[in-house]
Amino acid sequence: MTRSSVQGEDTDEGAADAPERAQTVRGDGDNGVGGAKDEPEGAALGAEGGTGDGTAGEPDAPRPRRRRRVLRWTAVVLAVVLAGTAGAGYLYYEHLNDNIKQDALNLGDNKVAKPTPNAAGQTPLNILVIGSDARDSEENQQLGGARETFGSTPLADVQMLVHLSADRSNMSVVSMPRDTLLEIPRCTDPDDGEVYPASEGRVMTNQSLGHGGPGCTVATWQELTGIHIDHFVMVDFAGVVSMADAVGGVPVCVDANIHSRDAGGHGSGLKLEKGTHPVKGEQALQWLRTRYGFEDGSDLARAKAQHMYLNAMVRVLRENATLSSPNRLRRLAEEATEALTVDPDLDSVKKLYDLSDELRKVKPERITMTTMPNRYVGARVEPTEDAEQLFRLVREDIALDGKDAKKKPDAEPEPPADPAAPDDEIAVQVRNGTRTDELGTAPGRANTVTGLLVDRGFTKAVADPSVLPSEDRTVIRYPSADLEGDARRVAKSLGVPASSVKRSTDVSGVTLVVGADWREDTAYRAPESDDRTPESAEALNGADDSACMHVNPAFTWS
């Protein structure tokens, strides 16, 4: 089965494309989930994308005509933010500040604590970059929309978390596939007070933007990853073509001649000869939106192409002397600011420049691009255990390139705001999560650990045999801040590290899941931490200028 079923094309033909989508779910087509035809070459450019309906694991049903194309050029604006520029005088024009739109940072009810500063008093910086498919201006319509999509609910079709290490030595970027199934938390729109209830079950992550704005996308990321997000930067269609021109083009590589267009008219229209070529303008946009023709035709292949483009863009911005030209710099600043929506703490060009100056401290060879590890759920995807490993590395400020200096042991976390109740008043559910892909459930573990707790004074501990989850590591979950102290007390009594105590809305009380790391014995021994970046994250180093996209033979030409 090809991965094209993960991230399909958006609907250009509406209900008429349903049979094509169903065919793609079976894995025998290149249309992707959306299955829609792209515009003919030379027509208005948009980003290839998906249906955006968020249905979990079910075939797409016919729906009204609606064009939703994914914005894959987010990398352009992200690169501008990452790299910064010299000659900042033109960035301080007051009218540039007026170009920048702003919105609330976090619309969710739950907040994630900021990371503890390191010995030098430094803290990491996390910025969520969002690409919106909004069609709310005439220019955006011309670049990638149809009349029927004007003013429609936007989707967060591109989501990239940029993590700057506390010591500013390295940077990690994690992309999340837009079809990732997850739970969107309750969000409140600060403009009109409208409350968007939490999703009923899992839906596609790109729907979060329609729940009050980018602040709900931030809340969704924080709920999933446990990573505190300091800022967001959201971009729309307008300005991407001119921005690519402003930097003089970005070098990209293909290992064969490519034409992203099939007999049915699907594809971005990208046409390049084998080798490395600078792309700009509409051709740069075509590169960023191409799925047909790259590797297996999946959206993950497209993400790989975006990472290559982004890395090259950073190198160009650092090395290209033409950006010292006041006119080029002015143009780049104009186009970038007009395309941005940011949180209130980034609401001026000076603040954006200060941020880019921080990010610019990282050399390309210490930048690592990754995609969240995932697996199929029907036609969608979900995070895997490797994804949690990747999130943990970011939470703990561990460089994804493996070049960190050896760190000192973490200090004890700050005590919870609500201290633990007496041991005999703490209710604990214990579940057996020892099953793995290779081994069955170790019998009796929930009862054994429940007995340990009762013997140590937790008389309200009970085994829950009705749920048999699967956890690599023993974990203690709690649903709300008032139970954090209780969960930590349980962990301490068993010798479970504080890092294994997690807040989660999936439980109704303190819940201990005995993991595959504790299949036997009564004493818990925490496994040694594996700080390697999972291979499934497909890490790409920012200094790798030899990366080249593999062209699917069905899309080559001579």
Tokens of 319: 């090395």
What would the pLDDT profile of 199-256 be if each residue is shown by its tens digit?
999 999 999 999 999 999 999 999 999 899 999 999 865 455 566 677 788 899 999 9
Q: Is 249 left (phi over 0), alpha (psi -120 to 50) or beta?
A: left
Integer Cα distance of 283 and 346 in angstroms: 31
Q: Where are the alpha helices (DSSP H) in 239-298?
A: 240-246, 281-289
Please check whether residue 2 is in contact with residue 298, taking contact to mean a CB–CB distance below 8 angstroms: yes
Integer Cα distance of 210 and 202 in angstroms: 15
Residues in the chain: 558
Three-state SS annotation for 44-97: CCCCCCCCCCCCCCCCCCCCCCCCCCCCCCHHHHHHHHHHCCCCHHHHHCHHHH
Alpha-carbon 193 to chain mean position: 27
Q: Which amino acid belongs to residue 538? A: E
Q: Taking the model in full, what pTM does it have? A: 0.68
**pLDDT at 298 (0 to 100):** 79
Integer Cα distance of 97 and 102 in angstroms: 11
DSSP 31: S
Q: Which amino acid belongs to residue 228? A: H
**pLDDT at 504 (0 to 100):** 86
Integer Cα distance of 470 and 32 in angstroms: 31
Please check whether residue 90 is in contact with residue 165, taking contact to mean a CB–CB distance below 8 angstroms: no
**pLDDT at 323 (0 to 100):** 52
Tokens of 485: 């102290």
Give the three-class secondary structure for 316: helix
DSSP string, 312-323: HHHHHHHH-GGG
Give the three-class secondary structure for 342: strand
**pLDDT at 15 (0 to 100):** 31
Ranges in the chain, pLDDT < 70: 1-93, 133-152, 236-244, 320-326, 328-329, 331, 406-412, 437
CA angle 304, 153, 159 (to 5 degrees): 25
Please check whether residue 158 is in contact with residue 70, taking contact to mean a CB–CB distance below 8 angstroms: yes
Q: Is 498 left (phi over 0), alpha (psi -120 to 50) or beta?
A: alpha
**pLDDT at 5 (0 to 100):** 31
Integer Cα distance of 377 and 520 in angstroms: 32
Angle between helices 74-83 and 281-289 (to 10 degrees): 110
